Amino acid sequence: MKRLDISTSAKEAFIDITAKVDEEIRKARIEAGVCLIYVPHTTAAVTINENADPTVRQDLLTVLRKAVPDSLPYAHTEGNSPAHVKASLVGSSVAVIIEAGGIALGTWQGIFFCEFDGPRRRQVYLKIIPC
């Protein structure tokens, strides 16, 4: 298992980790397989989406903020209930195919660490499985 350390600088952000994931896959020298990307935090997530236009990330955050407003009467008194809900909606893991020694993503796709309760120091775990 590999671990990526990420420091976030905002309360909410989508951070492109595609290059870091691809680097770890290339270091493993696996020609074909699967890489499981897992976030071990309850107020953060991981997703695959467009990485060519940064306004897509802004739009995703806008929709999540509207769908999960801070103003609801949450029972959890720590003050970060919206972050827990957003993390559950987005998800804690994704899997990517490894082909020809690197990530087999679509032309516009990137892998994003999703911060919903920052700024914080976070980790992302990678499990590279050869096939």
Q: Which two tokens stand for residue 92?
A: 């804690």
Dihedral-angle region of residue 123 (phi above 0 means left; psi in -120 to 50 means alpha; beta otherwise): beta
Please classify residue 116 by burial: count the beta carbons closer than 10 Å to its beta carbon, then call 0-12 exposed, 13-18 middle and 19+ buried: buried
Cβ contact 129:25 at 8 Å? no
Q: What are the residue ranges spanned by the domains of the chain?
A: 2-130
What integer pLDDT is reported at residue 20 of this predicted model? Answer: 98
Average pLDDT over residues 118-122: 98
Q: Which numeric CATH code is attached to 2-130?
A: 2.60.120.460
Confidence of residue 11 (pLDDT cuts 50, 70, 90): very high
pTM: 0.96
Average pLDDT over residues 13-25: 97
What integer pLDDT is reported at residue 131 of this predicted model? Answer: 92
What integer pLDDT is reported at residue 59 of this predicted model? Answer: 98
Q: What is the pLDDT of residues 26-64, one digit of tens each?
A: 999 999 999 999 999 999 999 999 999 999 999 999 999
Q: What is the pLDDT of residues 61-109, one digit of tens each?
A: 999 999 999 999 999 999 999 999 999 999 999 999 999 999 999 999 9
CB neighbour burial string for 68-94, b if at least 16 within 10 angstroms, e if fewer:
beeeeeeeeeeebbbbbbbbeebebeb
